[in-house]
Amino acid sequence: MSEIIRANTVLPSKRTQFKVRTKDGLDLVAEIAEPLGENTGAILCLHPLPTAGGMMDSHVYKKAANRLPALAGISVVRFNTRGTTSDAGTSEGHFDNGVSERHDVEAVLAYCFDELKLANLWVVGWSFGTDLALQHAKDARHKGLILLSPPLRTSTPEQLAYWNSDPRPIIALIPEFDDYLKPHQARERFAIVPHIKLIAVDEAKHLWIGEPSVYRVLSEITKCVAPEKLPLPTEY
């Protein structure tokens, strides 16, 4: 008998914890959740602001790791940026407001390709993680960016304009009731990069609380990485 997928549902996958060394000599804690069967692609998750509680276990990413390997064949890589703590442990170093975190993003991206040998990898940023993605996720081997609740807190117009010279897709999910950047504001701020696909999500908020919001986020990720797996099941 099938069961409804709920907030605490954990579906089968192969989970492996590992550490990544940055160019400036820090060890970051990380985990990959892989499908037991067919592998359709992968995502690298860049978490929300650690000074506001963001980490690799922030709920959307934890649910992605708990569900997407089984439901869509997607491998999910999560890690703590420098100085950030979760149940998996604490990454070395100290929070640097997205500046030195460049080394973190570059190191984990390189690890995904060079050590984990992942293919069809997309970078997913959420809140603070979207600024990390826009500023630092430039490794030519990933397929594109998926941005959840981008606040554009530290990304400059010049940094955004970089993506006009990069043909890879960027998809941004903008909650209707976001605390920092609502859909009409996002259209103005992102106008400098015309090819970004902005998706306004009705009734959603910055933290994507509630199963309908989580399902929408995971569905949009799957649409990019493994569209043939849609619609995602709501029972397992």
- Mean pLDDT score, 81-102: 98
Question: Is the predicted pLDDT of residue 220 greater than 70, yes or no?
Answer: yes
Cα-trace Rg, the chain: 16
Q: Are 140 and 101 in contact (CB under 8 A)?
A: no
Mean pLDDT, range 201-218, rounded to an integer: 98
Contacts of 101 by beta carbon, 8 Å cutoff, 6+ apart: 81, 82, 132, 136
Q: What are phi and psi of 176, to 5 degrees?
A: -55, -40
Amino acid identity of residue 18, one-letter, is F
pLDDT for residue 96: 98
The mean pLDDT of 1-7, rounded to a whole number, is: 91
pLDDT, mean of residues 87-94: 98
CATH number of 14-227: 3.40.50.1820
| Other CB atoms within 10 Å distance of the CB of residue 67 | 25
**Other CB atoms within 10 A of residue 235 CB:** 9
Return the pLDDT at 1.
66
43-72 tens-digit pLDDT: 999 999 999 999 999 999 999 999 999 999
- Answer whether residue 224 shows pLDDT above 70: yes
CA distance 149 to 74: 22
Q: Is 217 helix (H, G, I), strand (E, B) or coil?
A: helix
- Mean pLDDT of the residues in the chain: 98
> CA-CA distances (angstroms) from residue 116 to 17, 27, 44, 147, 213?
12, 17, 12, 23, 30
3-state secondary structure 163-190: HHHCCCCEEEEEECCCCCCCHHHHHHHH
Q: How far apart are CA 112 and CA 120, in angstroms?
A: 11
**How far, rounded to the nearest angstrom, does the alpha carbon of residue 116 sit from its chain's CA centroid?**
17
Place of tokens 């089984």: 70
Please state the length of the chain.
Answer: 236
Q: pLDDT tens digit string along 108-166?
A: 999 999 999 999 999 999 999 999 999 999 999 999 999 999 999 999 999 999 999 99
Q: Is the pLDDT of residue 10 over 80?
A: yes
% of the chain with per-residue pLDDT over 90? 99
Tell me how far apart the alpha carbons of residues 85 and 147 are, in angstroms, rounded to a whole number.
Answer: 22
